[in-house]
Amino acid sequence: MIFDYSLAHWATFFTAAVLLNLSPGPDMAFILAQTAKRGVKFGFSAMFGIWTGAFVHVIFAALGLSAILATSAVAFSAVKWIAAAYLIWLGIQALRSKGTTMSDNSQVSSKGSMKIFKQGVLVAVLNPKVAIFFLAFLPQFVEVGAGPVSGQLFLHGTLIIVVAAFIEPPLILIGGKLTGYLSNNRQVSRWMDRGLGALFVWLGIKLATSDRL
């Protein structure tokens, strides 16, 4: 039977998926930073962008394209440097910010939300370690006779994003309540931008100096 797995299989998989989504990294940092800086709406825009980028990696893993990054040092290095440069560029942009308030954001919320969404997509897509992680993680849950390998990879990869839908929205809502009021102060906003900028510069440098795994 297609996609017929045991209870132990699902228990192991969902435990791993929950821990994965709770672990800190560029994706979660981007979502929470946008929530703290601009509010819940922008946090959700960042989240949907990250999910879209992650889904691209799921498709790549299912099609086997992620294997290129895992086996080619040149391909991995190229994507790694592009991703690192993009993160550092985001960081520099934030460091140069003069600060904004919630009233400033309300005037361009639609345009700003789409910009954050696109940034989220790129943050996820341009992270080669995400591609390699999916390639290394998902095959562990492929079982003989449970269906086509590509189908099983796609199913489990998609379910990781589904699990994220139960974890990340509450974190955004909590983060919005705790930090939203700070965004009305331009001085505080400026320092939040600088903190966000320093974070992304650090993540970019960390990625640039990392090994393949």
Give the other-Cβ count within 10 Å of 30's Cβ: 26
State whether the Cα torsion 106-39-45-85 is positive or negative: positive
How many CA within 13 A on the CB side of residue 138? 29
Low-confidence ranges of the chain (pLDDT < 70): 1, 23-24, 65-71, 76, 97-111, 128-129, 132-133, 136, 178-190, 192-193, 196, 199, 203, 207, 210-213
Domain limits, the chain? 7-208
pLDDT tens track for 185-197: 566 666 766 776 7
> Taking the model in full, what pTM does it have?
0.69
